[in-house]
Structure 1
Amino acid sequence: MGKLYIVPTPIGNLGDITLRSLEVLKNVDVIFSEDTRNTLALLNHFNINKKLISYHKDNELKASENIIQHVLSGETVALVSDAGTPCISDPGNIVVRKMNDLGIPVEVLPGATAFVPAVVRSGFPTERIFFCGFLPSKNRERRDFLNYLRDNVFASIVFYEAPHRIKATLRELLMVFDPPVAVVRELSKMYETLYFIQNESSLDDIVEKGEFVIVVNNNIVKYVEKGDAELVDFIFRLKEEDFSNQDIIKILKAFGVKRNRAYKLVVERD
């Protein structure tokens, strides 16, 4: 039996590819690729000559079966996306799930992905990161999802967005979350740019070209710093979820609230 390798590729700068990724691409029998033209350019740059087979969202089911047959026949297979790590807002999850169910070896290589450097670049807290990928396309579904995130996910929240949608999405985010919203454009490329969007007028600065990663700071620390009113609201929501007073005090302490203050807010207000 062969093996499937999930191989990350650079998101912009070819120098970001890992030595191990190059080794795998050189030695596998066949490479399945989201965009064979882009992958061919990458392989040519590193003088790698391999058979390429298309694997994208429109043929993912059929191509997954093809990969499985190659591996069962004893071949080694690499799966690459257009850029970054397959399965992260890209095709690949179906074949990995099928192979796990069948007990077929899969090896995932660490490497490039856009959302991690974007969070670090934003300067927002990194203790808790919630990756959302692309938002729902339907208006009502998207609004409901954003409201859910605001009220329930206390983390640095990360989204991907296309250039033709970036300004509309940021307008919606400003209606739901407190500014600033961090936007990183063209990560690792020559024209990499970081924006901090404070209000609608800030949107005029954005160049609507390239790849965008959006980071929202919805961490609980932000609410701790605001004062008792916001904390009381947060405590109320935790109690609605059946957290005990003791657990709520521990949560508040973990985010920097002193024990005496936490006790007064949780117990003395009951």
Structure 2
Amino acid sequence: MWNQHSYQPGNKQGSLVIIPTPIGNLEDMTFRAIQNLKDADLIACEDTRQTKKLCNHFAISTPLVSYHEHNKRKSGEKLLRLLQSGHTIAIVSDAGMPGVSDPGFELVKQCVENQIPVIPLPGANAALPALVSSGLPTDHFYFYGFLQRDKKTRRDELEYIASIRDTFILYESPHRLKETMKELSEACGKYRQASICRELTKKYEEIIRGSLEELHQWSEKVQIRGEFCLIIEGTGELPEEKDQWWLKLSVIEHIEHYLKEEDMSSKAAIKQVAVDRGLPKREVYQMYHVE
């Protein structure tokens, strides 16, 4: 257990400051974010060229260092040593909140493991503006991010998210949007309501609302440009009590029931338990094979 007091004096180590940056409109940059970027000893960024433009716009002269998906292990080790020696490091992605479908998680995890304060700033992101403008329920929602590219994994993911009770959020790139809308319509049903948000906060911001079938047809007819955030209606249904016979069982016991009583393979049993409990299959796999 570690109780972090973010702003108490006397901390001998540095701090990692998570700073969201605009997803399109530079006016979404906060005063606090600008000041923290100026005060940091170093800015770890996904693309130094992109962040340099932001820094130039706001007269930020703090040195930049590259930290992205392909160098995060080696770069992360160097950044950790600097943090341990008392440096304050700001981490940013090209746009939005670092660590959410962008680099950052691994460095945050290393800081937590080494009891180095991690200070998150609120700010720009695509998911919440897309959600609240969709017209779909917002009291409960599920952020999923990007679907995997591997076809089999993707099929399992679609099967899982199609059963989610609440509104869920996906990110998608322009060159995969048509395929994704087709797959969502097939997996969730063509009448499920959804919205597609394109180029949020930018000049060509567009929000298209309708059924999954209508949105799939729209994607086939237009020229696809920009980054997309998809908001999809959940099933709105709770599992019936009779289907929850497994409630008193642990996840391991639940899997073992299918192995012994239903003569399932471990792969099939894990998949069925994930469906029963509304959990990601990889999480159930981790519980069974690792824990």
Q: Identify the TM-score tier after normalising by the shorter chain.
A: 0.7 to 0.9
SS in structure 2 of the partner of residue 169 of structure 1: helix
Who is 2:168 aligned against?
157
Q: What is the deviation of 1:180?
A: 2.6
Q: What is the deviation of 1:128?
A: 1.1
1:167 maps onto 2:152 in alignment: no
SS in structure 1 of the partner of residue 38 of structure 2: helix
1:108 maps onto 2:135 in alignment: no
Q: What is the deviation of 1:237?
A: 6.7
Q: 2:240 aligns with which of 224, 235, 241?
A: 235
Counting matched residue pairs gives 231
Q: What is the deviation of 1:240?
A: 4.2
Report the TM-score, using the length of structure 1 for normalisation: 0.81
SS in structure 2 of the partner of residue 165 of structure 1: helix
The alpha-carbon distance between structure 1 residues 241 and 19, as it changes in their structure 2 partners (threshold 3 A), is farther
**Structure 2: which 5+ runs fail to align?**
1-12, 249-291
Q: Contact (CA 8 Å) 1:125, 1:219: kept in 2 or not?
A: no
Q: What is the deviation of 1:63?
A: 1.2
Question: Partners in 1 of 2:185 and 2:246 — Cα distance?
Answer: 27
Q: 1:67 is aligned with what amino acid?
A: L
Deviations 1:114-136 (A, max 9, x none): 11111111111011111111001
Who is 2:66 aligned against?
54
What is the RMSD computed on CA atoms of the aligned residues?
1.7
Q: Contact (CA 8 Å) 2:162, 2:235: kept in 1 or not?
A: no
1:117 maps onto 2:129 in alignment: yes
Q: What is the deviation of 1:202?
A: 2.5
Question: Partners in 2 of 1:206 and 1:235 — Cα distance?
Answer: 41
Who is 1:6 aligned against?
18
Q: Contact (CA 8 Å) 1:25, 1:31: kept in 2 or not?
A: yes
Q: Contact (CA 8 Å) 1:185, 1:192: kept in 2 or not?
A: yes
The alpha-carbon distance between structure 1 residues 76 and 205, as it changes in their structure 2 partners (threshold 3 A), is same
Who is 2:195 aligned against?
182
Question: Partners in 1 of 2:223 and 2:44 — Cα distance?
Answer: 33
Q: Contact (CA 8 Å) 1:195, 1:206: kept in 2 or not?
A: no
Q: 1:202 aligns with which of 218, 241, 260?
A: 218
The alpha-carbon distance between structure 1 residues 238 and 189, as it changes in their structure 2 partners (threshold 3 A), is farther
Q: Contact (CA 8 Å) 2:162, 2:234: kept in 1 or not?
A: yes
Question: Partners in 2 of 1:115 and 1:47 — Cα distance?
Answer: 28
Q: Contact (CA 8 Å) 1:11, 1:188: kept in 2 or not?
A: yes
Q: 2:184 is aligned with what amino acid?
A: L
Who is 2:142 aligned against?
130
Deviations 1:27-77 (A, max 9, x none): 111111001111000010011111110000000011111111111222111
Q: Contact (CA 8 Å) 1:129, 1:157: kept in 2 or not?
A: yes
Q: Contact (CA 8 Å) 2:177, 2:219: kept in 1 or not?
A: no
Q: 2:247 is aligned with what amino acid?
A: D
Identity between Structure 1 and Structure 2 (%): 40
Question: Partners in 1 of 2:179 and 2:16 — Cα distance?
Answer: 39
1:85 maps onto 2:97 in alignment: yes
Who is 2:50 aligned against?
38
Q: What is the deviation of 1:158?
A: 0.6
Q: What is the deviation of 1:182?
A: 1.0
